[in-house]
Amino acid sequence: MAAVEGGAFATADRAAVVCALPPRREWPTPWAFVCCGAVSLGVHLRPRAALQMIRIGVAFDEARERHLGARPHWYVHLLGVRPGAQGRGLARAVLAPVFAAADRSGVPVYLETMPEANVPIYQKLGFALVGLRELPGGLPNHELVREPAPGVRRSVTG
C-alpha cells in the first residue's frame, strides 16, 4: 500500500514491520475495527480484560491529543524488529516511507513505546520524547514525536 494511504511496510524477509496511519485517519473507523478482528477479540476476552483494552486505547488517544491537538500527523501504532535482526537499521528502513510522506506533507510522526530501552533508539531516528505517563493497569507509556525534516517540499495534507 502506498505511504500516502497508510498501511504496513516491511523488509523483504519480514524481519521488521511498521504499521502507520496517515493524517486525519490516525484511528481506524468502526468498520476497520470489525474487519481487523478487534471486536471478535473483545468478545473472546473476559469482560474485565476487554474493558482494560478500551481504557488503554482511550489513554493512547488522550496522549496524542495532548501533544498534537488537532494537528494532522502520521501515527505509528506498531513497529517491530525481530530480536536477531535488531541493531541493523531495519527500523529506519521500514519507517523511511512514513518519514518521506510526513516530510513531503510537513506533518509530524507520533508513536508510543512502553519499554524505556526503546526511547534512545527512536531518538536516533529523530523522535523527541514529549511525554511519559502511566497507562491504566500501571503500564508505562513513552510518547514521542518526530517533526518534519526542514527544507523538504511541502504539499497540502488531508
Global pTM?
A: 0.78
Q: Which of 28-32, 119-123, 130-134 has the lowest mean pLDDT?
A: 28-32
C-alpha cell recorded at residue 102? 510526513
Q: How far apart are CA 114 and CA 112, in angstroms?
A: 7
The predicted pLDDT at position 34 comes to 61
pLDDT beyond 90 at 56: no
Q: Decide which of 3.20.20.10, 3.30.565.10, 3.40.630.30, 3.10.450.50 is the CATH code for 3-146.
A: 3.40.630.30
pLDDT beyond 90 at 77: no
The DSSP 8-state label assigned to residue 116 in this structure reads G
Place of cell 496511519: 21
- Contact by Cβ (8 Å): 22, 101: yes
In DSSP terms, 113 is beta-bridged to 142
Name the H helices within 46-127: 47-68, 90-105, 119-124
Strand 140-146 relative to strand 128-134, pairing:
antiparallel
